[in-house]
Structure 1
Amino acid sequence: MSHNPVQIIARGPRAAAEAAAADIDSDVLLEGATYSILEEDEDRGIWRIDAFPTSQDEVDILTKRLAQHPDVTVKVEALADADWLAMSLSGLPPVEAGRFFVYGAHDQGRVPPNRVNLKIDAGAAFGTGHHGTTVGCLIAYDELLKRERFDRVLDVGCGTGVLAIAAARTGSSLAIGTDIDEPSVRIANENAKLNHANARFVHASGLNDIKVRAGAPYDLVFANILAPPLVALSQDIKMSLRIGGVAILSGLLRTQERRVTAAYLSRGFRLERRIHRDAWSALVLRRMA
């Protein structure tokens, strides 16, 4: 079915917007959906969801999901017949997260000295570095690097590869990323070359894939995916880590923290830190047993 590019905009109070976003996350048919949630008007308490569906089916499912939340207003706007993804990225400012400076080609001339500069081109993959989940992961990683080093790093659901590339650029001898989306793996490997990073990305559907198990046990596992798979993968992530190793988890809303944290505490992890960016949360957990 043909699809004319559209943007779906939903607005409402924070609780309603977060509930709508959680509803999107819970739908297996929307696992690849690209959307963001942020506070639009602090004085009025209005939060906003922007979704960019890539098919008419995704448009229909998203609008149906959002319509189930009466306190959220939904609008569908047509996008101009242009490379709207590139245009939207060109308006994004660089991201600063501790020592990391993440930028696109349009900011080539704004790269500061004495930082770990990461040039990331999204293409068809998720993860320019601007999303609150990715920023949270980078902030958590930067803080950890102030007191310890991670030689072997795994990035589950790598998207553009920014997290594994950040690890490779800060001294990890093995930085491997996986994704179930083949175009993302291709783009991540291209970004690794672009950043002269010794990071490798493979197409794999789980942590039991032979290409993933070959590098275990890892010192650090990034998993910036969604709350349901984070819970489902809790045992696999544990077994991929050495005792004392760290998991940085994100892709979850603040409202989903308790569920995800409980799954990992029951596996012998200790929660060390929570980082909040907009409505999103990143968790730092250490395997204790």
Structure 2
Amino acid sequence: MSYNPQQIVARGPRAVAEAAAEALDAEVELEGTTYSILEEDEDHDIWRIDAFPTAEEEDLQIQRVLTDFPELIVTAEQLADADWLAMALSGLPPVRAGRFFVYGIHDHGRAPVNAVNLRIEAGAAFGTGHHGTTVGCLIAYNDLLKKSKFGRVLDVGAGTGVLAIAAAKTGTPVAVGTDIDAISVRISNENAKLNQSTARFVHANGLNHRKVRSSGPYDLVFANILARPLVGLSMDIRGALKPQGLVILSGLLRTQERFVKAAYLSHGFKVVRRIHRDAWCTLVMQRV
């Protein structure tokens, strides 16, 4: 029996919404779930979680987790059989993050001549540039580029490929992305072609894929995934980096910052910068 896609929305105070988002992250069965958390009404301290399950089991698991937080008002709305993701994205404005301008086909005419323009089509992948974690990564990378260039860049959990493509479009000759989802890899490679970018993407779980190893060691690693995988990959990311290499970590809530930071500090990293956007945190750390 086919699943009719739904959008699950949960609204409530920031502390409760962040706790619920952290509970979603902690569920192994929901590791690949697409959701966002953002502030909806500052005056009334209302934060909002939007989740987009792709199967009935995932739908039920998300709603089960959210029922553990009675202060949240949870609603679910069935989405049309049409390409609902593309329809939703068509209403999103383009994103400016430093020198980078991220847009979809519906905003092609708005791309400025003085920006690094990234046309990103999401399809069934995650990472259009609108999410606070992706914007945080682009802002961090934009500022790093003011001081240095990066010859080799790895994007772990590439999604739509926006970060590796951004690296390739700003002079990185070797930009490699990985994702555990084969559809995301296909979409990333399609986006690379759309942007006339040399970034390339491989289907891989972790950093041991032959093409990932052969292109390293890296000057910079993007890892925009989730808090627990970030911790689990800390030693592998260290091994993939050159001495003094940098990693941009995101996909973690502010409440998870200490947990992730501690793992990297214990493996010989130091904090260079942190960026907070909505409920999300982006960390820039350096291998020492």
The answer to whether the superposition gives a TM-score over 0.5 is yes
Q: Distance in 2 between matches of 1:81 and 1:194?
A: 27
Q: Report what 2:61 is aligned to.
A: 61
Percent of counterpart pairs with the same letter? 70
Q: Report what 1:126 is aligned to.
A: 126
Identify the range of structure 1 (89-98 vs 26-35) with the bigger mean alpha-carbon deviation.
26-35
Query: Is 1:212 aligned to residue 212 of structure 2?
Result: yes
Indicate the SS of the match to 1:137: helix
Q: Report what 2:111 is aligned to.
A: 111
Q: Report what 1:27 is aligned to.
A: 27
Query: Is 1:152 aligned to residue 152 of structure 2?
Result: yes
Q: CA-to-partner distance for each residue in 1:226-268, whole Å, 9 max, x for gaps?
A: 0000000000000100111000000000000000000001111
Q: Report what 1:231 is aligned to.
A: 231
Q: Distance in 1 between matches of 2:90 and 2:152?
A: 34
Q: Distance in 2 between matches of 1:145 and 1:39?
A: 30
Indicate the SS of the match to 1:57: helix
Q: Distance in 2 between matches of 1:229 and 1:52?
A: 21
Q: Distance in 2 between matches of 1:40 and 1:144?
A: 31
Structure 2, unpaired ranges of 5+: none
Q: Distance in 2 between matches of 1:165 and 1:80?
A: 31
Q: How far did 1:80 drift?
A: 2.8
Q: Which letter does structure 2 place at the counterpart of 1:85? A: L
Q: How far did 1:164 drift?
A: 0.2
Identify the range of structure 1 (73-82 vs 274-283) with the bigger mean alpha-carbon deviation.
73-82
Q: Which letter does structure 1 place at the counterpart of 2:64? A: K
Q: Which letter does structure 1 place at the counterpart of 2:69? A: H
Q: Distance in 2 between matches of 1:37 and 1:262?
A: 24
Pairs within 5 Å for 1:5-24: 5-24=5-24
Q: CA-to-partner distance for each residue in 1:51-110, whole Å, 9 max, x for gaps?
A: 111111111000000001122121111223322111100000000000000000000110
Q: Which letter does structure 2 place at the counterpart of 1:52? A: F
Indicate the SS of the match to 1:33: coil
Q: Report what 2:83 is aligned to.
A: 83
Task: Please provide the CA RMSD for this pair.
Answer: 0.8
Q: Report what 1:274 is aligned to.
A: 274
Q: Distance in 2 between matches of 1:173 and 1:78?
A: 44
Count of aligned positions: 288
Pairs within 5 Å for 1:233-272: 233-272=233-272
Structure 1, unpaired ranges of 5+: none
Q: Distance in 2 between matches of 1:180 and 1:208?
A: 12
Q: Which letter does structure 1 place at the counterpart of 2:78? A: A
Q: Distance in 2 between matches of 1:213 and 1:261?
A: 25
Q: Distance in 2 between matches of 1:202 and 1:7?
A: 30
Q: Distance in 2 between matches of 1:7 and 1:184?
A: 20
Query: Is 1:44 aligned to residue 17 of structure 2?
Result: no
Q: CA-to-partner distance for each residue in 1:23-43, whole Å, 9 max, x for gaps?
A: 111111111111110001101
Taking structure 1 as the reference length, the TM-score comes to: 0.98
Q: Distance in 1 between matches of 2:79 and 2:213?
A: 43
Q: Distance in 2 between matches of 1:45 and 1:221?
A: 35
Q: Which letter does structure 1 place at the counterpart of 2:66? A: L
Taking structure 2 as the reference length, the TM-score comes to: 0.99
Indicate the SS of the match to 1:128: coil
Q: CA-to-partner distance for each residue in 1:140-189, whole Å, 9 max, x for gaps?
A: 00000000111000000000000000000001010000011001111100
Indicate the SS of the match to 1:160: coil
Q: Which letter does structure 2 place at the counterpart of 1:215? A: S
Indicate the SS of the match to 2:127: coil
Indicate the SS of the match to 1:164: helix
Indicate the SS of the match to 2:15: helix
